Chains A and B, each alone.
Chain A
Amino acid sequence: QSALTQPRSVSGSPGQSVTISCAGTSGDIGAYTYLSWYQQHPGKVPKLMIYHVNKRPSGVPDRFSGSKSGNTASLTISGLQAEDEADYYCCSYAGSYTMLFGGGTTVTVL
């Protein structure tokens, strides 16, 4: 399977909202609700931010929200803060024990 498709970069000013899209197919995003998002700061370990499309693990600010429509998922960061500047990866279960990542999106806080 091919990787999921994300924009290379998005940017926003502090306090604004940004949305990252993640495009897949009917065999991955469109077929399952096992859609997760990971944040990775430079040189750091990926961190789970959203799981099962729109659920937040304990400790993740409610500024982070997820959604899905058809074969496309989205991560929205509301009230953008400086510490949100990082790379974000979507990941979907694709059946047969396969998990596909997106190529990653760099969020820049202007």
Chain B
Amino acid sequence: EVQLVESGGGLVQPGGSLRLSCAASGFTLSSYEMNWVRQAPGKGLECISYISSSSGTIYYADSVKGRFTISRDNAKDSLYLQMNSLRAEDTAIYYCARDNYKSLDVWGKGTMVTVSS
């Protein structure tokens, strides 16, 4: 079964850091571009970061640029998101999603990040 499973979310104070992981199974991660998408409580979807299959190209939305770092380890079938200098507005469910020619065809169940003192 094709699957993505996120982990690493939790409660963190403003200014703190978290590292999210996304484990892929049922397909070869190295063949796909990947994205992180977040959804604040009661709000819509926001694509915040992209990474190409070889990590050669990376993109960040302005809302996270300079604070978040996306990476991947194809040998471990894993995707990561290092989040630093967290703010209250970063509170959201964070999904990893497989990018299949610019359509997000496989999503994980998400991991909740809450930034609060």
A57 located at the interface, meaning its Cβ lies under 8 Å from any Cβ of chain B in the complex: yes
A52 CA / B105 CA spacing, docked (Å): 12
A46 x B103 contact (CB < 8 A) = no
Shortest beta-carbon distance, B20 to chain A, in Å? 16
A104 located at the interface, meaning its Cβ lies under 8 Å from any Cβ of chain B in the complex: yes
Chain A 35-66, CB within 8 Å of chain B: the 1/0 string?
01010000001111001100001000000000
Shortest beta-carbon distance, B57 to chain A, in Å? 6
B105 x A89 contact (CB < 8 A) = no
Which residue on chain A has the smallest CB distance to residue B62? Answer: A1
A93 x B102 contact (CB < 8 A) = yes
Shortest beta-carbon distance, B58 to chain A, in Å? 8
A101 x B44 contact (CB < 8 A) = yes
- Find chain A residues with CB under 8 A from B46 CB: 101
B50 located at the interface, meaning its Cβ lies under 8 Å from any Cβ of chain A in the complex: yes
- Find chain B residues with CB under 8 A from A80 CB: none
Query: Which B residues lie at the A interface, using CB under 8 A?
Result: 35, 37, 44-47, 50, 52, 57-59, 61, 95, 100-105, 107-110
A-B contact pairs, 22 of them (CB 8 A): A3-B44, A32-B102, A34-B101, A36-B102, A36-B103, A36-B104, A45-B95, A46-B37, A46-B95, A48-B104, A48-B105, A57-B105, A89-B44, A89-B45, A91-B47, A97-B58, A98-B50, A99-B35, A101-B45, A101-B47, A103-B44, A104-B45
Additional 4 contacts, C-beta under 8 A, given A48-B104, A91-B104: A38-B45, A45-B109, A51-B101, A97-B52
